[in-house]
Chains A and B, each alone.
Chain A
Amino acid sequence: MKRLGLVFVGIASPVMLLACVVGGPLAGRVFALLAVLFPIALIGLGTSRLSRRAGLRVALAGVGLLSVASTVGLLTLEGRPGLSLLLMICGLGLVPLIVLVTAYAATFDEASR
Chain B
Amino acid sequence: MDRPAIILGVLGYFLIVLAIGVWAVGRTRSPSDFFIAGQRVGTFVAGLATMSAAFSGFVFMGGPGLTYRMGVSALWIVIPVGVTPAMLCWVLAKRLRSLGRTRELFTVADAIAVRFDSPAASGLAAVALALGSLAYLGAQILALGILLQVVFGWTALGPALVVGLLVLLTYSVLGGMVAGVYTDLVQGLFMIAAAAVVFVQALRRVGGWTSLSENLSRSELFGEQFLEPLGRAPVMTAFGFFFVFGVGVLGQPHMLHKFYMLKDVTRLKWMPLILGSSQAVCLLLWLGIGLAVPSLVAAGRMAPLADPDRATPTFILAHLPDALAGLVVAAVLSAIMSTADSFLNIGAAALVRDLPRAFGRPLRRELLWARVAVCGVGLAAAVLAYGSGDLIALLGTLAFGTFAAALAPSLAVGMNWRRVPAAAAIASIATGLISTVVLQIVTRQTSIDWPPEGVRPETISLAASFTALFLVTAMVKPGPGEPADDVAEVVGA
Chain A contacts for B265, CB-based, 8 A: 110, 113
Provide 25 A-B residue pairs closer than 8 Å at the C-beta atoms, listed in order of the A residue.
Answer: A2-B416, A14-B471, A20-B455, A20-B460, A22-B452, A23-B236, A28-B454, A31-B243, A35-B240, A38-B246, A39-B246, A40-B83, A42-B87, A42-B91, A43-B86, A45-B412, A46-B95, A49-B492, A85-B228, A97-B82, A100-B85, A100-B86, A101-B86, A101-B277, A113-B490
Measured CA separation A85–B92 after assembly (Å): 31
Give 1 or 0 for each of A58-87: 1 = CB within 8 Å of chain B CB: 000001000000010011001101101101
Task: Report whether B239 and A21 are in contact in the complex, using a CB–CB cutoff of 8 Å.
Answer: no
Measured CA separation A100–B86 after assembly (Å): 6
> How far is the CB of A94 from the nearest CB of chain B, in Å?
6
Restricting to A11-60, which residues have a CB under 8 Å from any CB of B? 13-14, 16-17, 19-25, 27-29, 31-32, 35-36, 38-40, 42-43, 45-49
B83, B87, B234, B236: which contacts A20 (Cβ < 8 A)?
B236
Number of interface residues of B (CB under 8 A): 72
Chain B contacts for A105, CB-based, 8 A: 269-270, 272-273
**Could you say which interface size class chain A belongs to?**
35 or more
Q: Is residue B157 contacting chain A, with contact meaning CB distance below 8 A?
A: no
Task: Report whether B413 and A45 are in contact in the complex, using a CB–CB cutoff of 8 Å.
Answer: yes
Chain B contacts for A47, CB-based, 8 A: 90
Residue pairs across A and B with CB atoms within 8 Å: the count is: 193
Knowing A9-B413, A85-B227, A105-B273 touch, does A38 contact B460 (C-beta < 8 A)?
Answer: no
Name the residue of chain B whose CB is nearest to the CB of A81. Answer: B227
Chain A contacts for B242, CB-based, 8 A: 35-36, 92
Measured CA separation A81–B230 after assembly (Å): 9
The 4 A-B pairs of least Cβ separation, nearest first, read A23-B452, A46-B91, A13-B466, A100-B86
A6, A23, A92, A108: which contacts B455 (Cβ < 8 A)?
A23
Task: Report whether B250 and A42 are in contact in the complex, using a CB–CB cutoff of 8 Å.
Answer: yes
Task: Report whether B243 and A16 are in contact in the complex, using a CB–CB cutoff of 8 Å.
Answer: yes
Task: Report whether B460 and A101 are in contact in the complex, using a CB–CB cutoff of 8 Å.
Answer: no
